[in-house]
Amino acid sequence: MSDVVLEVQGLNKAFGGLRAISDLSFRTVRGEILGVIGPNGSGKTTLFNLITGVFPATSGGVRFRGNSISRLPTDAIARLGLVRTFQSATVFKQESVYENIRRGSMFGCIGNPAWFFRKGVISAGAKKARATVEELLEFSRLADVAQVPAGNLPYGKQKMLGVAIALAQHPLQLLLDEPAAGLNLAETEAMAELIAQIRSKRHIDVILVEHDMRMVTSVCDRILALNYGKVIGIDVPARIVAHPEVIEAYLGADFE
Amino acid sequence: MKAMKSALKFLSIIVILAVLPFVLRAPFLTHIGVMIGLYTTLALSMNLMLRIGQISFAHGAFMGLGAYGSAVLMMRLGLPFPAAFFGAAFGVTLLAWLVGQVFLRIRGVYFVLLTFAFGEIIVLMFIEWVSLFGGSNGLAGVPRPGLFGHEIQSRDGFYLLALALAAFAYASVRALYRSELGAVITSLDENEALTRSLGIDSRQYRLLTFCFSAFLVGMSGALYGHYLTLVTPEDYGFWVPVNLVVINVIGGGSHPLGSILGALLLVPLPEFLRDAKQYQVLLYGILLIFFLLFMPNGLYGVVEKFRRGRKGAAQ
C-alpha cells in the first residue's frame, strides 16, 4: 500500500449539465507509467486539470503520496512534485531554450514573492538551476539550440522543451498531456524514447495521456481507458486493446 | 565591472540634470522639468501594469488619493511634509493591496472597466465629501513642503524632488525587471498557465506589482499636489491613465527607458501648445496613430535600432 503515489477517489466534475468526469477512481504505484486513453471529449485533459488544481472538482478527492491535494492551488501542487505539461506546445516563445528550462528550475524556489526575503534562496536556486539546465539540455537533446528563442524551434522540439521545463522542477510524478500530438513519426519515436528514459534514468513516475496507440502500448505498464468521463477499463496494454468496450469506443460497435 | 559602469553613467546623468536649472536659469523650462519628472514616475508605474498585461484605470484615483492624502495630512492634521508624503503613498499602497485582492482576479477589458469604475467612484468622493476634500473647488493653499526645517518654495527645489523621485522610480523598476522578479512578471504575461504550473503563485506576484505601481503613483500624486498648491478632482480622472498608456506606447513600453522618452516628448507638448489648446487632443490622436502604424516599438524601438546599427557597423 505504501507504494501508492497518486490516488483518485470518486472524482466528479460537471460543467453545467455536462458531466465531464463521473465517479472516477484509480491509483498509480511507484515506478509506474500509466497511460490514459479515450476518444476526444472523454475527459482526459479535464482529469489532468482536476488533479493539478486548475479548477476544483464537483466532488471526490485526490491524494498525492498520502496527502490530500484536492483543495490546493495549482502552483502549490506543482511544488509538491506533481508536475504537468500541456497539450499544445507550451513554452515561453520569446525566451531562449536555456532561459525556458532555467525558469522551470528556478520558479519553484520563488513561488511566493515573500520568499525573496529568505536568506540564500536566490543564490542557491540559481546554482541548482545552472546544473539542472546543463544536464537537461543534454538529456532532452536540445543542447545545440540552447540559445535559440523557443518560438523559433520546430514544433517537435518545442514539445520536447515543454517536457524539459517540467523535468527542471525535479518532479516526483509527471503528467504528460498528449506529448506526441502533432509530431511526425521520427519525432514521436524520439518522444517515446524520452519518456522511457524519464522512468529508467530519472526514476520519475509518469501519467501519459495520448492518442497514438502504438506509443501508449509500447511505453505504458497499464492503461486507463475513458469514455464519456467514465472508466471503461484499467489494465495492461494487451488486455486493454482487446477490451470490447475500448474497441467500441474507438472504432465503433460494428468493427470485427 | 559593467554594472558599476552603468551605475556611474546613471549617476552622472542625474547630477547633470540636477545642476541644469541652476545653469540655465529658465523658470519655464524648470517647470517643464518638474512635470517630466512626475510624469516619468507615473508612466513607469503604468509600465509595470502593462508588463503584467493589466491596464489599470484606477491610477488616476491613486494619484488623486496621493495628492489629497498628503495635502489633508498636512493641512488638517499638521503633519510635517515627509510624514504626510510617505503616509499618503503608503496609504495608497495599502488601498491597492486591499482592492487588488479582488480586482486582479479579473483580466482584460473587464479589469479596465472595473478599475475605471473604481476611479470614478473615488473622484466622486473627492467632489461629494466637501468637508474633507473641498468639493469641486478642491483644496486650495496646499502648503509647500518643508525638508530639514527649510520650506521648499522655489521651482528648483521641486525640480530636485521630482528628479529624485523619477530617478528612484526608474532605477527600481529597471532593477526589478532585471531580477528574478522581472522574469516571473514577464512569464506571467507571456503564459500564465505555464508559469503557474512551474509553481508560481500568480496572484501574489500580480498583487506585488500592483502595489508597487500604486506606491509610485501615490508618491508622484502627493508631490504634484504640493507643487501646484491646489488639488482639484478633475485632475485625477479618466485622462490620467489614458495619458500614461499613450506615453508608454509612444515611448515604447518594452523597456523602462521608453516611459522616460515618452514623457520627454509628450509632457512639454501641451505647455508649448497653450495657444492652440483646441488642437491638443487632435495632435495626440495623430501622434498615436503615427506611432502605432510606423513605430510600433515606440521611441525606444528607434533608439535600440540605431544603437544596434552602430554596433553592427563597428564590428
Question: Which ipTM was obtained for this model?
Answer: 0.89
Using the Cβ of B189 and the Cβ atoms of chain A, whether some distance falls under 8 Å is answered with no
**Residues of chain B neighbouring A54 (CB-CB closer than 8 A):** 193
All residues of chain A having their beta carbon less than 8 Å from the beta carbon of residue B204 are 112-114
Residue B179: closest C-alpha in chain A: A122
Question: Across the strands, what pairs with A84?
Answer: A175
Q: How far is CA B227 from CA A75, A141, B78, B153, in A?
A: 46, 61, 18, 9
B190 touches chain A (CB under 8 A): yes
Q: Could you identify the residue written with the cell 488486455?
A: A239
> What gap in Å lies between CA A64 and CA A73, rounded to an integer?
14
What Rg do the C-alpha atoms of chain A give, in angstroms?
Answer: 19
Look at phi and psi of residue A209 and say left if phi exceeds 0, alpha if psi is from -120 to 50, else beta: beta
**How is residue B226 written as a grid cell?**
504640493
Hey, are the CB atoms on A113 and B204 less than 8 Å from each other? yes
Q: Would strands A4-15 and A173-177 be described as parallel, antiparallel, or unpaired?
A: unpaired
User: Per residue in A205-221, is it b (16+ CB within 10 Å) or e — as a string?
Assistant: bbbbbbebeebbbebbe
Answer whether B181 sits within 8 Å of A169, measured CB to CB: no
**Pick from A112, A116, A122: CB nearest B201:** A112
Q: How many alpha carbons lie under 13 Å from residue A121 in its C-beta half-sphere?
A: 16
Segment holding A68, helix H or strand E: strand A67-68
Distance from CA of A108 to the nearest CA of B (A): 5
Can you give the pLDDT at residue B114? 95
Q: Per-residue pLDDT tens, chain B, 315 aa: give them.
A: 677 888 888 888 888 888 887 788 788 888 889 999 999 999 999 999 999 989 999 999 999 999 999 999 998 898 988 999 999 999 999 999 999 999 999 988 999 999 999 999 999 999 999 888 888 888 888 888 766 656 666 788 889 999 999 999 999 999 999 988 999 999 998 899 999 999 999 999 999 999 999 999 999 999 999 998 889 998 998 889 999 999 999 998 888 999 999 999 888 887 777 777 777 778 878 888 888 888 888 889 888 888 887 766 655
Query: How many Å apart are CA B225 and CA B143, to the nearest integer?
Result: 9
Distance (Å, rounded) from C-alpha A106 to C-alpha A168? 8
C-alpha to C-alpha distance for B57 and B111, rounded to whole angstroms: 9
Beta carbons of B198 and A113 less than 8 Å apart:
no
List % helix, strand, coil for chain B (3-state, nearest 5): 80, 5, 15
Question: Which residues fall within 8 angstroms of residue A161, CB to CB, at 6 or more apart?
Answer: A89, A91, A97, A100, A101, A140, A142, A150, A153
CB contact under 8 A, B191 and A92: yes
Alpha helix (H) residue ranges in chain A:
44-51, 74-80, 97-106, 121-139, 155-167, 185-200, 213-219, 237-241, 244-251
Partners of B194 on chain A (C-beta within 8 Å) are 86, 90-92, 165
pLDDT, tens digit, 9 for 90 and up, residues A2-19: 588 899 998 888 888 888
- CA-based max dimension of chain B: 67
Q: Which of A95, A108, A116 faces B198 most closely, judged by CB atoms?
A: A108
Residue with cell 501646484: B228
CB–CB contact A103 B198 (8 Å): yes
Tell me the domains of chain A and their CATH numbers: 1-81+171-256 (3.40.50.300), 96-169 (no CATH)
CB pair distance less than 8 Å for B199 and A79: yes
Q: Are strands A222-227 and A230-235 parallel, antiparallel or unpaired?
A: antiparallel
The C-alpha cell that represents A132 in the structure block = 539542472
Nearest by CB to A104, from B198, B201, B204: name it: B198
Residue of B nearest to A122 (CA): B180
CA dist B255 and A170 (Å) reads 33
Cβ of A92 within 8 Å of Cβ of B202? The answer is: no
What residue of B is the nearest CA neighbor of A87? B194
- Does A75 contact B183 at a Cβ distance shorter than 8 Å? no
DSSP bridge partners of A4 = A29
Kindly identify which residue of chain B lies nearest to residue A105, measuring between CA atoms. B198
> Could you count the other beta carbons within 10 Å of the beta carbon of residue B116?
18
| Predicted pLDDT of residue A103 | 93
